[in-house]
Chains A and B, each alone.
Chain A
Amino acid sequence: MTAARHGQEREKIMIQIDNVGKEFVLHNQGGAVIPVMAGAHLTVAPGECVALVGASGAGKSTLMRMIYGNYLCDTGAIRVGGVDVAQASPREIIALRRAVLGYVSQFLRVVPRVPTVDVVAEPLLALGVAADTARARACALLARLNVPERLWSLSPTTFSGGEQQRVNIARGFVHPYPALLLDEPTASLDAANREVVLGLIEEAKARGAAIVGIFHDEGARTRVADREVDVRAFTPARAA
Chain B
Amino acid sequence: MIAGPLFRVEGLTKRYGARIGCADVSFDLWPGEVMGIVGESGSGKTTLLNCMAGQLAPDAGRVLFDMRDRGMVDTVTMSEPDRRRLARTDWAFVHQHACDGLRMGVSAGGNVGERLMAVGARHYGDIRAAAIDWLDRVEIAADRVDDRPRAFSGGMQQRLQIARNLVTGPRLVFMDEPTGGLDVSVQARLLDLLRGLVREMGLSAIVVTHDLAVVRLLADRLMVMKDGRVVETGLTDQVLDDPQHGYTQLLVSSVLQV
A residues contacting B by CB (< 8 A) are 24-28, 65, 69-72, 90-91, 93-94, 109-114, 125-126
- A sample of 30 cross-chain residue pairs with beta-carbon separation below 8 angstroms, ordered by A number, consists of A26-B249, A27-B245, A27-B249, A27-B250, A28-B253, A65-B241, A70-B235, A70-B238, A70-B241, A70-B242, A71-B242, A72-B234, A72-B244, A90-B220, A90-B238, A91-B30, A91-B33, A91-B220, A93-B235, A94-B33, A94-B220, A94-B235, A109-B216, A111-B191, A112-B184, A112-B185, A113-B185, A113-B192, A114-B192, A126-B199
Q: How far apart are B218's CB and chain A's nearest CB, in angstroms?
A: 9
Q: Which residues of B contact A28 (CB under 8 A)?
A: 246, 249-250, 253
Chain B residue total in the interface (Cβ 8 A)? 26
B residues contacting A by CB (< 8 A) are 30, 33, 184-185, 188-189, 191-192, 195, 199, 216-217, 220-221, 234-235, 237-238, 241-242, 244-246, 249-250, 253
Q: How far apart are B95's CB and chain A's nearest CB, in angstroms?
A: 22
Q: Complex Cα distance A26/B184, Å? A: 31
Q: Complex Cα distance A113/B234, Å? A: 28
Q: Which residues of A contact B30 (CB under 8 A)?
A: 91
Q: Complex Cα distance A90/B221, Å? A: 7
Q: How far apart are A116's CB and chain B's nearest CB, in angstroms?
A: 13
- Whether B235 and A111, one on each chain, are in contact in the complex, defined by CB atoms closer than 8 angstroms, is no
Q: How far apart are B220's CB and chain A's nearest CB, in angstroms?
A: 5
Q: Complex Cα distance A113/B217, Å? A: 13
Q: Which residues of B contact A113 (CB under 8 A)?
A: 185, 188-189, 192
Q: Complex Cα distance A94/B220, Å? A: 8
Nearest residue, chain A, Cβ from B188 = A112
Main secondary structure of the interface of A (DSSP, over half): loop
Q: How far apart are B4's CB and chain A's nearest CB, in angstroms?
A: 12
Q: Complex Cα distance A111/B234, Å? A: 21
Q: How far apart are A102's CB and chain B's nearest CB, in angstroms?
A: 15
Q: Which residues of A contact B250 (CB under 8 A)?
A: 27-28
Q: How far apart are A129's CB and chain B's nearest CB, in angstroms?
A: 11
Q: Which residues of B contact A69 (CB under 8 A)?
A: 235, 238
- Whether B241 and A111, one on each chain, are in contact in the complex, defined by CB atoms closer than 8 angstroms, is no
Q: Complex Cα distance A94/B209, Å? A: 22
Other than the given A70-B237, A72-B242, 17 more pairs (CB < 8 A) read A24-B242, A25-B244, A26-B249, A65-B241, A69-B235, A72-B238, A72-B244, A90-B235, A91-B33, A91-B221, A94-B235, A111-B188, A111-B191, A112-B184, A113-B185, A113-B192, A114-B192
- Whether B192 and A111, one on each chain, are in contact in the complex, defined by CB atoms closer than 8 angstroms, is yes
